[in-house]
A and B are shown apart, each in its own frame.
Chain A
Amino acid sequence: MKGSFFRSMTWLHTWVGLLVCWLLYLIFFAGTISFFRDEVSLWNQPSIHNIEQQTDRIGAQKQQIISGVEYLNTQAPNAPNWRITLPEERVPYLTYGYAKPKEPEQRRASFENTRLDPNNMQPLAPFTDTRGGNFFYRLHFDLHYIDVKTARWIVCFASLFMLIALISGIVIHKRIFKDMFVFRANKGSRSWLDVHNLSSVFALPFHLMITYTGIITLIFMIFPYPAQTVYENGIRGFFNDVSPSSPVTESLQGTAPLVPINTVLDQVYTKWPEADITRVIINNPHKAAATIMVLVSPGKTLRDQSPRLIFSGASGELVAQTDDELTGSKALYESLNSMHTGRLAEPLLRVLYFLGGIAGCIMIATGCIMWAKRLRERMKKNTQPSWGLKLVEGLNLGTLMGLPLATSAFFLANRLLSKQVAERADKEILAFFLTWLCVFIIAFVKRDKLQWCVMAAINSIACFSVPLVNALTTQGNIISYLRNEQWALFMFDSLFLAIGLLFLLQTEKLRTALQAKKPTPINTQEQKV
Chain B
Amino acid sequence: MQASNRLLDFPKPVFSMLWQFMQRFNYELAVLSRFFIAIVGGYFFTAVSVSLLSVVVPVSKVDAVLLSVSASILIYTLVFIYSFYLQSLKTVWISILLSVAVQFFILSLMKGWL
A329 CB-CB contact with B under 8 Å: yes
Determine how close the nearest CB of chain A comes to the CB of B107; give it in whole angstroms. 7
Enumerate A216-231 residues with CB–CB distance to B below 8 Å.
216, 219-220, 223, 225-231
Residue from A12, A168, A220 within 8 A of B69 (CB atoms) = A220
B48 cross-chain contacts in A, Cβ below 8 A: 225
A329 cross-chain contacts in B, Cβ below 8 A: 59, 62-64, 66-67, 70
Residues A223 and B72 in contact, CB atoms below 8 Å apart: yes
Residues B54 and A327 in contact, CB atoms below 8 Å apart: no
Stretch in contact with the other chain, from B1-9, B13-21, B76-84, B93-101: B76-84
Chain A 1-18, CB within 8 Å of chain B: the 1/0 string?
Answer: 100010011001000000
Determine how close the nearest CB of chain A comes to the CB of B34; give it in whole angstroms. 7
A227 cross-chain contacts in B, Cβ below 8 A: 65, 69
**Cβ-Cβ contact count across A and B, 8 Å cutoff:** 98
Known interface pairs A160-B76, A163-B73, A212-B73. Does A238 touch B55 (Cβ–Cβ under 8 Å)? Answer: no
Residue from B34, B63, B87 within 8 A of A327 (CB atoms) = B63
Residues A216 and B65 in contact, CB atoms below 8 Å apart: no
Residue from A1, A9, A168, A330 within 8 A of B66 (CB atoms) = A330
Determine how close the nearest CB of chain A comes to the CB of B91; give it in whole angstroms. 12
Residues of A within 8 A of B (CB): 1, 5, 8-9, 12, 157, 160, 163-164, 167-168, 212, 215-216, 219-220, 223, 225-231, 238, 241-242, 327-330, 332-333, 336
Known interface pairs A5-B85, A8-B85, A229-B55. Does A332 touch B47 (Cβ–Cβ under 8 Å)? Answer: no
Residue from A226, A228, A241, A332 within 8 A of B53 (CB atoms) = A226
Rank and list the top 9 A-B pairs by shortest CB-CB distance, nearest first.
A329-B63, A226-B54, A329-B67, A226-B68, A333-B66, A229-B51, A329-B66, A225-B51, A226-B65
Interface residues of chain A: helix, strand, loop or mixed (majority): helix
Residues of B within 8 A of A (CB): 34, 39, 46-48, 50-51, 53-55, 59-70, 72-74, 76-77, 80-81, 84-87, 89, 107, 111
Residues A229 and B111 in contact, CB atoms below 8 Å apart: yes
A-B contacts, 12 of them at CB < 8 A, read A1-B34, A8-B85, A160-B77, A167-B81, A219-B70, A231-B61, A329-B63, A329-B64, A329-B66, A330-B66, A333-B66, A333-B67
Known interface pairs A1-B34, A163-B73. Does A9 touch B84 (Cβ–Cβ under 8 Å)? Answer: yes
Determine how close the nearest CB of chain B comes to the CB of A3; give it in whole angstroms. 9
Residue from A9, A230, A332 within 8 A of B54 (CB atoms) = A230
Known interface pairs A163-B73, A229-B51, A336-B70. Does A328 touch B65 (Cβ–Cβ under 8 Å)? Answer: no
Bound Cα distance from A229 to B34, whole angstroms: 29
Bound Cα distance from A215 to B43, whole angstroms: 14
B72 cross-chain contacts in A, Cβ below 8 A: 219, 223, 226
B80 cross-chain contacts in A, Cβ below 8 A: 160, 164
Bound Cα distance from A75 to B63, whole angstroms: 43
Determine how close the nearest CB of chain B comes to the CB of A229; give it in whole angstroms. 4
Residues B85 and A230 in contact, CB atoms below 8 Å apart: no
Determine how close the nearest CB of chain A comes to the CB of B50; give it in whole angstroms. 5
Bound Cα distance from A512 to B72, whole angstroms: 51
